[in-house]
Chains A and B, each alone.
Chain A
């Protein structure tokens, strides 16, 4: 008997809910053979604003979780991806990747999350410090999350690139608004479904899909975004830095002109955490 096909409507994961763009716009996504696959939401600057509001709402609660609990939750996210790794590999193959390469990317993304899950209760001991001062003070430095981080995912490595960029941000208690690869948005749609079942509070990671050129100006000027990380070309980098200057945003961009090998160890670790932290030094008087 013939059954009508039940096809999925891809939606973005924002504030713990699955949304269409407020504009109602979508763009067709074609698979590697040029066949229609699905309509992808084309988010606007208003969707970006709404996502920032959602991230702001989730932020204080996420930052107040114990480091241990944040680690458990990020590990749980890795578990959720691992359990659906075949489906995720298929999503990556839509962009033309061979099956082995896609499986490798999923495995690397899971491993990257496990890596950062381990860091949550350790980075503070390495980045914070007790400082020698020439006065009767106990002087120490602790880290604090910056707040809401804007992330511009690379066009290739649609899963591993995105995960490598947002994982260090949330590890230390930041929240994230990320723009997925414009060319290969589907893995981010699927990732949203996994985030939703990962115990990560809604709003901590918000994933938008859409036209990069339309959204970059708002990413750079939105004063509530405290930092921008991601991959960008020379023209974009210049525009982002100029836009970010007014709100004194921290901007850390990887150059897209040279191919990025996301599997390398240099794309994970303590210094990626440090990039998205503020340092607070306290002078505490002590008896002579």
Chain B
């Protein structure tokens, strides 16, 4: 690595401020001790449902599978009063099938693009992918940043690429995936957040991860990014939205993330314009816990998922 470029990373750290990882871990450990019961719990669970980006990103996705995902997004559980999710999140080739399945419902379509999950394709190809997804009817685009360029200290390139994707998005909202597990340190997560936020429009998202690596969203890296959003907002007045993705499977975890949002950014961020969960299994558990809250009886997970396992 050329010496000047590692200097770039250092300068960026100095510019946006450092993160105290021990302090972060201590802070987030407190979130897991909050007691949320009764009506507050029900409110939190319903809010979390409305924030879900219901996701399927697998090689084996079919139009039929996407159609049933859309059905679930619009009506998460038959015979229950549950809000719709915020969006479905699919690969670009599935956007047109999702558009057809969703019809005129309010559920938005998010599409991962830019050679998700690695981002290792020529910029021209990545931009063409974004345009095609938007053309097929995507309302939101989830892009990955160029982690190689970031770690090599070529920050202008990272920002230029985000700007180029932003332009290709047109009206569509952009979510910038930092892929935190590949950024190695909390300082880098904060620095990458700032790099992205400085080129984004108000209301665009920064997002933790693709869900395709071993380490995904945690309360810790979520907190680093929330604090970056807070500091950026206090500095510039521009509100940036946040989306943790991957690894959030239970309603209990979702409530803890919402506590982090409430205590770091406040009520302004407690809606699906400013906060989302990228998840697939989470919705099942949220609906299951809502049913538990309303009926009083613990529920079996197989009543809420398509899993064939009946145990």
Contact = CB atoms under 8 A, between A and B. Distances in A.
A268 interface: no
Most buried by A among B295, B296, B297, B303: B297
Contacts of A223: 297-300, 303
B297 A247 contact: yes
B117 interface: no
A223 B298 CA distance: 6
Nearest to A48: B298
A52 B298 contact: yes
Contact of A224 (B296, B300, B309): B300
Interface in A181-232: 218, 221-224
Interface string A43-72: 000000100100010011001000000000
A70 B108 CA distance: 50
A60 B309 contact: yes
User: SS class of chain B's interface: helix, strand, loop or mixed?
Assistant: loop
Contacts of B295: 246
Nearest to B311: A59
B33 interface: no
Contacts of B300: 223-224, 247
A117 interface: no
B310 A224 contact: no
A175 to B, nearest CB: 8
A221 B301 contact: no
A48 B300 CA distance: 13
B300 to A, nearest CB: 4
A247 B301 CA distance: 13
Contacts of B310: 147
A56 B297 contact: no
B303 A60 contact: no
Number of contact residues on B: which range applies?
10 to 19
A246 B297 contact: yes
B68 to A, nearest CB: 24
Contacts of A221: 296-298
Nearest to B310: A147
A60 B310 CA distance: 9
A218 B311 contact: no
Interface in B262-311: 295-301, 303, 309-311
Given A147-B310, A147-B311, A148-B311, A56 B301 contact: yes
B298 A56 contact: no
A60 B297 contact: no
Interface in A148-164: 148
A63 B311 CA distance: 9
Nearest to B302: A224
A246 B299 CA distance: 11
B294 to A, nearest CB: 13
A60 B298 contact: no
Contacts of A148: 311
Interface in B190-241: none
A59 B307 CA distance: 15
Contacts of A60: 309, 311
B297 A222 contact: yes
A49 B292 CA distance: 12
Most buried by A among B297, B299, B310, B311: B311
A154 to B, nearest CB: 25
A161 B296 CA distance: 31
A222 B299 CA distance: 6
A49 B250 CA distance: 14
Interface string B84-103: 00000000000000000000
Nearest to A218: B298
Nearest to A222: B298
A223 B303 CA distance: 9
Contacts of A224: 298-301
B59 to A, nearest CB: 25
B36 to A, nearest CB: 14
B146 to A, nearest CB: 40
19 contacts: A49-B298, A52-B298, A56-B301, A60-B311, A63-B311, A147-B310, A175-B311, A221-B296, A221-B297, A222-B297, A223-B297, A223-B299, A223-B300, A224-B298, A224-B299, A224-B301, A246-B295, A246-B297, A247-B300
Interface of B: 295-301, 303, 309-311
Given A60-B311, A224-B298, 13 more contacts: A49-B298, A52-B298, A63-B311, A147-B311, A148-B311, A218-B298, A221-B297, A223-B298, A223-B299, A223-B300, A223-B303, A224-B299, A247-B300
Which 6 pairs of residues, A with B, have the shortest CB-CB distance? A59-B311, A221-B297, A224-B300, A222-B298, A223-B300, A223-B299
